Each structure stands twice: as C-alpha cells, then as structure tokens.
Structure 1
Amino acid sequence: MKTSDDNPTHLDPTTVEEYFRLGAKTAFPLHSSPPVIMEIDPGREEIELRTPVAGSEPEVTSLERVSLSRIRRDGADWFRLVVDARDMHYEAYVLLESIVDQLKSGASFRHAVSEAVASLKDLLAGRAKLTEEKILGLLGELMVLNHTIDGLGESGAITAWLGPLAEEHDFAFPHFDAEVKTTKSESRVHVIGSETQLGPEPGRPLYLISIQITRAGLAEQGFTLPEVVRATRARLDQTRRTFDAALEGLGWRDSDADLYTVKYQPRSTPRAYLIDDQFPAITSARLDQVVPQRTHVVSVTYRVNVTDLDYSAIGAPLNDFCEAPE
C-alpha cells in the first residue's frame, strides 16, 4: 500500500478486513511531516499509530480500548497509540485515520487524539457487532427459517420461530419442537446454555438440529450474515415487520451490516437428534434427582458432542433439511 500527503489513501471496510486476514503484521506510512506510521497486527487484533514525540501526551487513561506508551526508535522518542480492534476492526481504523487527518491540518498529537476520540465516541460505543457465537446462532436459525418458509409459508414459518422471543426452544412446529445449534468446529460440539434448553415439553418431541458451517474465504457459494438477512427479508411480505423486530431483539442492526464481512459455507448436511432418555442432556429433572440442595444451582452451561451419536429421522418441514439416517 502506498500513500503520500498529496494522495492520501482511505481504506474501505473490506480492505481493512483483508489486512486482518493476512495473518502477519502490516505497517505503512500515512504522513511524512510529522512522520506517522500505522501498523495492523492481526494476531493481537490491534491497530497502532506511531509518531515522534512532540508536545504533551494525550489523555487516554479513561478509554478502555486505547493505550499510549513511548518507544525508542531511530534514536528518538515516539508516541505509540494502540487500539484494541476486537469486534471493531473498521471502527479502530477510522479512529486512527481521524487522528492523522487532524495531524495533517497542523494539530498537536494531544489535540488530534482528543478531537478524534470526542467526535467518534458515540460511533465507537454504538457500533459493536454481535459476538461470533451469536452470529453463528443467528445464521443457523435463519437457515432453518428459510427452509421452513418453503414448507409452511412465511406466516407459518415466522409463527414457528420462537428464538427471538426467548422461549425455551427455537422453533415450535405442528408436531415437534426444535433447538437449533450451529458450530464451526470439525466435530458436532454445541454449547447448551441452560438446564431447560434440552428439556422437552410434555407430549412434545424435541430435536436438537446440529448445523456445521465453516469460513468460506473467497468461495463463490459463501454467504455473510447480512446477505442471509437480506435474502430472508426479500422472501417476506406480510411478516416483514415481525421479522425485523425479531432481528432487532437479537441485536441485529441493518446500519451495522458493513461490520459483518466474514463469509461462511456449510461444512456438512444438518442432522437431527431426538432428545430422549438416552441423550446426554443436563436437564432440570435430572439435576433434581442427583444434586443435593438443588435450588442453590442457579445456572448451568455445558458442551455436548453429538458427532458419534445416532441421529434421527425428522418430520416436515425439516425432513428434507436434515440428513436421513442410513
């Protein structure tokens, strides 16, 4: 990447993500007078700005994601400003770019940092994307929802989708309930978030729907979360507002779509596992039987590996979504 003061370079979100995917540190000059160097460190998920010490230090101690130090470089002292860019690669870049813009206009480093932080504080606080766990979970539920639209129509599918309503199970179909779990791992290892998540309702069969996806890189068949959201919304007419409200409740915002640049693709065909007496689930009923003073256990989270368990046939509308047993 080449830059000059007469021809400044602005990186778009996709390019910033490409630098983070390189896996190696990348440093490049952004200004010559005063010298300013930016470095992207994918391993630490940090972006730093270095410039020779001039004037007093900026005040950054109150900022959780920003740190300042002095380093010795080429016989001179330099300021080293580091931004923790986890889950906000582009926002971190925009902050440092704003500092450089202030420096180019003649501002001191202290003033440049102060102005950039003040102008971008609301942006940085308000544009945090979903965690990867939540991204995977939402992708899995939308995959099931899209398939369900084919079988039940949009009204039936949206009504069956209980995940955004914080109910015990993600979907309640006419003849069974389904808990959707999505993982990036090579094994079908899933996080169960409570003792009730795999507890069937009386008279209602419950299935764990195991979905495996993996990063797609530049594969044409890959899909990002925003692409799946848009594709699903495009299939809806009468229920679009309900769908949008559900997404908002899950933490999705259309205005943050540019933050989600990772592409995924299926790793395998989904499988359905019937939650019966032989399934290794930690449930309230089982805890009641074996845990002394059970009422004092207030939270249960565990991982279950279903890779080698027998998977099941499942009825409509997921009969042709999940792999049929041999």
Structure 2
Amino acid sequence: MSKYELITITGPTASGKTSFACHLARHLDTEIISGDSRQVYRSMDIGTGKDLSDYIVNGRQIPYHLIDIREAGDKYNIFEYQHDFHEAFTGISKRGKLPILCGGSGLYIESVLRGYSLVNVPENKELRARYEDCPLEELTKILASYKPLHNTTDVDTAQRAIRAIEIEEYKKQHPLEQNEFPPLSSLVIGVNIDRELRRKKISERLKARLDEGMIDEVQAILDKGVSPEDLIYYGLEYKFVTLYLQKELTYQEMYSQLEIAIHQFAKRQMTWFRGMEKRGVHIHWLDALLPVEEKISRVEELLK
C-alpha cells in the first residue's frame, strides 16, 4: 500500500505534464484534479490550454475535476480552490483511488500540499476607492510593504495588485488561528524540460492557438458581456488579445508582447518550484523527453 495520499504532477507551461498525467491516470485507474488557476473558467479553452483531448487515453475518458466550474468574468480565488480541491480529493479517495493533482499554478498546488491557512477575504470598497487611480508602480510598492513579492502575478495589473493589497490588509487585521486543512503526503513529480526546447514549444504553441481561433474565443467572451477589464485581469493570452481587440495594440505588438510574457511566466513557474523545494516540498524531476512508459515506471518505483 502506498504511503502517499496523492500524486502531484507539475512543471512549467509546455512541458507535457497534462498528457503524462492522463496516461498515468489511465495506468493507475484513477482521476485527475486540475491545479490550474484559469482552467476553472468556462469558455476560456484555447487560451488556457485545456487540451481536453488529452483526457481521452486509448479510447477511455479520464475523469477530471476543477475544470469548467466557473463562468468567465468570475474572480475565482485560492481560498475557493482549496475547498473545491478537498471536496474532489475526498470523493476520489473514498472511491479507493489515488488522486492525481496536475497543473502549473504553483501557489494553488502548494496551498493544498502544505495546508496553507487561508481565509475568504471580502471586498473592501473603501480600500478599492482609495487605490483606484493609483499607478501600478505605486501599488507594487504598497504591496511590497506588506510582504515579499514572491508571486509576481499579483502585480501583473492594477486590479490584481489592489486585490492583493486588500487580502494583505484583511490578514493584518484578522490574524489566522489555525489551518483548516492538513498538509498532504504527496509524491511530487516535476516534468523538467530544457529551457531552449521549452521556448521553442511555447512559440510553436502560441502560433497554433492563434491559428485555432484564440482571438475569436476572446471576442466571443467579450460579446457575452464580460468586460475587457475582467478579461485583462486573467493575464497572458486574455490580457494581450483583449488589448488587441480594443485596438490598444497592433497584431504584431500583441503577438510579440504575449510571446515574451509567456516565456517570462514559464521562468517564474520554475522559480516558484525551486522555492517550493527550499520550503520542504521534495520534487522528483523527470526529463520531459523520456517515453511515457518510462515515466510511468519511474513513478511506480517511487510509489513503492
């Protein structure tokens, strides 16, 4: 019997972790819980890289959780994710299966592995009004006065920075007493991809997603009534394509700035994973280029 409650598969964008997780889930006859902060939103398919076809392995549908559970335009947060994760985790475990957590959102993954103590922070209208016209550079300094800025996605946009300040101010006034969820014993597998190969795959994938209709996808979400500001909040593809559709960027500016932003995002992911290791999460790194059968064999050896 495995000493682990969970298998976690993580890695930077374009490392092939989802495909590997699905093949492993097929082999172990289990289910996958997504660890991606944007795949929770419906209609945001191409830009978030849901790749739902990966969840069909040898003609069999792999059950997945925490994908397409909220409407585009919502502001899903880590507190909600932690609760939704544990609901899915408990259900899979009760079915006698070893759950697989798969994704690249390091903060979400670490929050459940290490049992972060979190609180559902309400909206602070007075604070939001106070910082409404504050430039992003100034908001970044304000946020840095509360905590070290490990998670740079907090300052991707002014809206995100204000929300991060709102959370920190609430935590300052309402100290947390105890963790709601315990840490989990997880075998953590990192899919390691060579930096140059990762850059090549990111560039190829960006072109493919644009060819697949990513711009039309963003326009359709805007047509449903989701505001440009709410889409920009999600960052990366939704930020830059929205700016293009709002005629604030040319197509070439959108393409080149987005490509750079995704490369920077992948670099930040790796920085986060290294930080996780320093904070006590042991990650077993597997080469992305290993055949899937060999990756599965390595996982089975580690489970024993």
TM over 0.5: no
| Higher Rg | 1
Q: Which has the higher helix share?
A: 2
Q: Which has the higher strand share?
A: 1
Normalising by structure 1, we get a TM-score of 0.25
Normalising by structure 2, we get a TM-score of 0.26
Q: Which has the higher contact order (CA 8 A, sep 6+)?
A: 2
